[in-house]
């Protein structure tokens, strides 16, 4: 919550609380002095002190203004007046918000019309263009001071610009960074960090500059790592992986309380690690990280990260998890083989199959189907014969049927020799409605 909204809430609730306190004081005064006022005889006070002034004001407000009404109606009137005050303040705030949004949209449209095509041509250029040359192309003069509207309009403009052109093969991240330098965006961002005291504002701003690949100075990052807000500290560690060439993966190399990641944090970390690999940076040693996060909820996460970002040697290292005591680690290692379609995992998966519970056996069957080396059909037949669960048998038959033409022939061969009470399993595999619930993809 920003400062304006915070003060608005304080004003509203403070007014209500003050009015109720004053009303309570009035009733206490009236009760202790046993005051009774006639309808046609207004209160006359000759000597005024603080309590008498409050007594007079609220006596006039509740007695003279609404003469003849019971106290319940008078209190209701006070609540209505306070509600009207609240609505007036709310309407003013909404009008201010609409005015602000209108100005922001106007400024954004101006930037879009004036700079979008020019910056797009710069970022899609095959030549490296310096910041000084970009200044001349844009005819942009750095303002002495950037107001809040212009600052937010530039952020919206740059984010939309980047994600509209970054998918292009000719996109140049170097030219985009030089464009940021030409408009002095780094200094604007750093000044913004310096001017705000809110940890959440810093957190959101750090997310934005990570999207735009803006590099902050090291002293500022060091301050963020000592912030009280844990989310900001955590995001700073992730930011350091991208922009700190000295020791980018230090946070992953030590047991750090800030790295107890939520599901959303894991999604973000996966995104940024993928961006690091796309940028051509050397990836961390995931086997070393797995040793460090052993027996934590991060272990399954980094096992699956190896499937996306790891080397073949690291994939082979995951074979040791096939018989792990942690079920989540076993599931993650099986899924990693399917994600990577790692053919070398076929025989290790077959060897560990009998050691698994039924749920994990089904995952292994789906993994072998996804890898699809063409050599698993004999294993599918044996697994079907020895399966203790009809659900497992159904999954095996479905994978066998979809595996290949040879798999369909094997499916028909097994069906021809199946007992009558098992024929419905084969019908389930063929049924277009029932087999929708037999998802063979991991």
The reply to whether 57 falls in a domain is: yes
Q: Say if residue 432's pLDDT is above 70.
A: no
Mean predicted lDDT score pLDDT of the chain:
80
Domain end marker among 54, 70, 104:
104
Q: Structural domain tally of the chain?
A: 2
Question: Which tokens hold the place of 371?
Answer: 């890898």
Q: Render 266-317 in DSSP notation, one character per residue.
A: HHHHHHHHHHHHHTTPPPP-HHHHHHHTTTSTHHHHHHHHHHHH--HHHHHH
Instruction: Kindly indicate the confidence band of residue 43, based on its pLDDT and cuts at 50, 70 and 90.
Output: very low
pLDDT tens sequence across 219-235: 777 778 777 888 888 88
- The C-alpha atoms of residue 375 and residue 195 are separated, in whole angstroms, by 64
The reply to whether 65 falls in a domain is: yes
The reply to whether 228 falls in a domain is: no
- In terms of C-beta density within 10 A (0-12 exposed, 13-18 middle, 19 or more buried), how is residue 245 classed? exposed
pLDDT of residue 39: 43
pLDDT tens sequence across 188-214: 888 788 777 788 888 888 888 888 877
pLDDT of residue 318: 95
pLDDT of residue 333: 95
The reply to whether 234 falls in a domain is: no
Name 175's Cβ contacts closer than 8 Å, sequence gap at least 6.
122, 123, 125, 128, 129, 134
The reply to whether 12 falls in a domain is: yes
pLDDT tens sequence across 342-379: 999 999 999 999 999 999 999 999 999 999 999 999 99
Q: Across 88-128, where does the E strand assignment appear?
A: none
If one compares 320 and 151, the residue with the highest pLDDT of the two is: 320
Domain end marker among 82, 104, 126:
104
- Domain with 359, as residue range(s), is 341-442
Predicted TM-score of the model (pTM): 0.66
Domain end marker among 104, 135, 161:
104
- The C-alpha atoms of residue 256 and residue 250 are separated, in whole angstroms, by 10
Question: Which tokens hold the place of 8?
Answer: 């608005």
- The C-alpha atoms of residue 386 and residue 407 are separated, in whole angstroms, by 18
- Reduced to 3 states, what is the DSSP secondary structure of residue 125? coil
Which of 165, 81, 62, 180 is closest to 130 using CA atoms?
A: 180
The reply to whether 423 falls in a domain is: yes
The reply to whether 192 falls in a domain is: no
Q: Are 349 and 334 in contact (CB under 8 A)?
A: yes
Enter the DSSP assignment of 128: -
R_g over Cα of the chain: 35
The reply to whether 280 falls in a domain is: no
Question: What are the Cα distances from residue 398, in Å, to 141, 149, 382, 410, 414?
Answer: 66, 58, 15, 12, 13
């Amino acid at each position: 919550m920003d400062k304006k909204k915070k003060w608005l809430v304080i004003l509203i609730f403070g007014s209500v609380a003050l009015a109720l306190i004053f009303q309570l004081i009035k009733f206490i005064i009236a009760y202790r002095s046993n005051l009774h006022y006639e309808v046609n005889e207004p209160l006359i006070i000759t000597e005024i002190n603080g309590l008498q002034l409050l007594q007079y004001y609220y006596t006039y407000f509740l007695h003279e203004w609404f003469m003849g009404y019971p106290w319940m109606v008078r209190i209701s009137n006070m609540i209505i007046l306070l509600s009207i005050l609240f609505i007036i303040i709310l309407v003013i705030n909404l009008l201010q918000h609409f005015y602000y949004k209108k100005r922001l949209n106007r400024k954004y449209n101006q930037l879009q019309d004036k700079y979008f095509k020019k910056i797009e041509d710069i970022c899609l250029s095959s030549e490296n263009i310096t910041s000084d040359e970009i200044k001349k192309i844009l005819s942009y003069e750095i303002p002495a001071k950037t107001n809040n509207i212009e600052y937010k309009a530039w952020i919206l403009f740059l984010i939309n610009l980047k994600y509209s052109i970054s998918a292009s093969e000719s996109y140049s991240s170097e030219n985009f960074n030089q464009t940021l330098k030409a408009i002095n965006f780094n200094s604007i961002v750093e000044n913004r960090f310096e001017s705000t005291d809110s940890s959440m504002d810093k957190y959101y701003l750090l997310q934005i500059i990570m999207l735009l690949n803006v590099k902050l100075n090291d002293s500022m990052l060091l301050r963020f790592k000592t912030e009280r807000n844990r989310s900001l500290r955590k995001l700073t560690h992730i930011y350091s992986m991208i922009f700190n060439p000295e020791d980018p993966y230090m946070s992953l190399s030590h047991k750090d309380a800030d790295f107890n990641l939520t599901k959303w944090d894991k999604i973000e970390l996966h995104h940024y690690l993928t961006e690091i690999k796309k940028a051509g940076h050397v990836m961390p040693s995931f086997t070393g990280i797995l040793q460090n996060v052993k027996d934590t909820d991060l272990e399954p996460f980094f096992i699956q990260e190896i499937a996306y970002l790891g080397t073949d040697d690291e994939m082979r290292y995951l074979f040791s998890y096939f018989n792990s005591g942690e079920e989540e680690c076993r599931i993650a290692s099986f899924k990693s083989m399917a994600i990577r379609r790692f053919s070398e995992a076929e025989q290790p998966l077959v060897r560990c199959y009998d050691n698994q519970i039924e749920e994990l056996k089904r995952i292994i069957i789906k993994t072998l189907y996804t890898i699809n080396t063409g050599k698993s059909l004999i294993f599918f037949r044996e697994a079907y014969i020895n399966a203790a669960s009809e659900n497992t048998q159904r999954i095996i038959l479905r994978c066998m049927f979809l595996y290949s033409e040879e798999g369909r022939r094997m499916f028909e061969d097994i069906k021809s020799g199946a007992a009558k009470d098992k024929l419905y399993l084969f019908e389930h595999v063929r049924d277009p409605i029932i087999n929708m619930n037999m998802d063979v993809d991991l």
